[in-house]
Amino acid sequence: MDQLDNIDLKLLRLLGEDSRLTTKELAAKVNLSPSPVFERVKRLEAAGYIKKYIALIDAEKLNYGLIIFCNIRLKQHDKSIGHQFVTDIMKLKEVVECYNISGDYDFLLKVYARDMKHYQDFVFNKLGSVKSIGSTHSTFVMCENKNTHNINF
């Protein structure tokens, strides 16, 4: 962050809140003309500060309202087994986030399902086919109170 000035940081905050803001709208909010704002945003993208632009989809409206956090313990701690696990998980459409974590478990998955029956089918038929998994522990979300991908810096 040493290379970023206050305008860069403000642009990142603004885009983190609403990535659909136009260059002209951003320029007005940071008191610059559109051309330097366009260049700054391109520089932030090229430097990797902005990974991509996404839309937050309402999963419930698409009948995927059940959110589950699934803790995974691998059978063994081995580099090739860990890499194979990640490769296998990347293929599962129900898994929307996957983190390698410390503590009692090795990975934490965020999973969307239509309902409990769908999740049961997912666990038995998809997770069950991932050979590197030793055990799982599921936690079901009762209410989503906050969901933002913006970083408050």
Domains and CATH numbers, the chain: 6-46 (1.10.10.10), 59-140 (3.30.70.920)
Q: What pLDDT, on a 0 to 100 scale, did the predictor assign at position 149?
A: 82
Q: Which two tokens stand for residue 88?
A: 């296998």
Long-range contacts of 122-131 (CB under 8 A, 24+ apart): 122/92, 122/94, 126/92, 126/94, 127/70, 127/92, 129/88, 130/85, 130/88, 130/89, 131/75, 131/84
pLDDT, tens digit only, all 153 positions of the chain: 568 999 999 999 999 999 999 999 999 999 999 999 999 999 999 999 999 999 889 999 999 999 999 999 999 988 889 999 999 999 999 999 999 999 999 999 999 999 999 999 999 999 999 999 999 999 999 999 998 888 888
Q: What pLDDT, on a 0 to 100 scale, did the predictor assign at position 2?
A: 65
Burial 35-55 (b: 16+ CB within 10 A, else e): eebeebbeebeeeebbeeeee
Burial bucket for residue 153 (CB in 10 Å: 0-12, 13-18, 19+): exposed
Residues, the chain, total? 153
Strands 66-74 and 107-113: antiparallel
How many whole angstroms separate alpha carbon 75 and alpha carbon 9? 43
In this structure, are residues 89 and 81 in contact, taking their beta carbons and an 8 Å threshold? no
pTM beyond 0.75, yes or no: yes
Q: CA angle, corner 9, sides to 5 and 15, nearest 5? A: 145
Q: What pLDDT, on a 0 to 100 scale, did the predictor assign at position 152?
A: 81
Please choose, from the candidates 96, 40, 37, 41, the residue with its C-alpha nearest in 3D space to the C-alpha of residue 68.
96
